[in-house]
Amino acid sequence: MKKEITLAIIKPNATEKKATGKIIDMILEAGFEIKAMKMLHLTKKEAEGFYEVHKDKPFFNDLTDFMSSGPIVVMALEKENAVEDYRKLIGATNPAEAAEGTVRKLFGENIERNAVHGSDSPENGIKEVGYFFSNLEFVN
Ligand code: CMP
């Protein structure tokens, strides 16, 4: 199977509760390779740019306020079937519906403060990684 790239974000509620290391461990244990990584504090505008596809949703303003409220860690992850496998590792968008042992079940609080983000398709994986990283920032 072909290797894929997906974007992972450790959200402000998870960095605040000092879960960054534990989440990175879970990602590595699950067999993902971190090809690029950095810590950022997004401006409201940068959060709006990232979540542009959701701009007409009722939760857009709250979501972008939250995503610009504290530090985040962004990672480009590589693995065969990375998009689907990472989504399995993190669990359902709403932590209340996430399976036991998943990142969102362990560290999420509600659908907005859900600890992590993952791309929803291989095409969006490439696009989202491109939003945060230049070619120079990749480990080859
Ligand atoms: P994420 O994977 O970052 O992608 C979009 C985010 O929007 C999602 O995780 C949730 O945090 C948030 N989201 C999705 N649906 C809702 C909702 N109904 N109410 C509030 N936030 C939502």
Full-model pTM: 0.97
Q: Is the pLDDT of residue 30 over 90?
A: yes
Is residue 139 domain-resident? no
Is residue 108 domain-resident? yes
Residues 6+ apart with CB under 8 A from 36: 75, 76, 129, 132, 133, 137, 138, 139
Residue range(s) defining the domain that contains residue 39: 3-134
**pLDDT, tens digit, 9 for 90 and up, residues 71-80:** 999 999 999 9
Q: Supply the CATH number for residue 28's domain.
A: 3.30.70.141
Nearest CA among 46, 23, 47, 118 for reference residue 79: 118
For the chain, the domain total comes to: 1
Please, which pLDDT band fits residue 140 given cuts at 50, 70 and 90?
Answer: confident
Is residue 128 domain-resident? yes
Query: Where does ligand 1 bind, in terms of residues with CB under 6 Å?
Result: 54, 59, 63, 93, 111-112, 114, 117
Atom of ligand 1 nearest to the CA of 114: 11
Atom of ligand 1 nearest to the CA of 11: 3
Is residue 49 domain-resident? yes
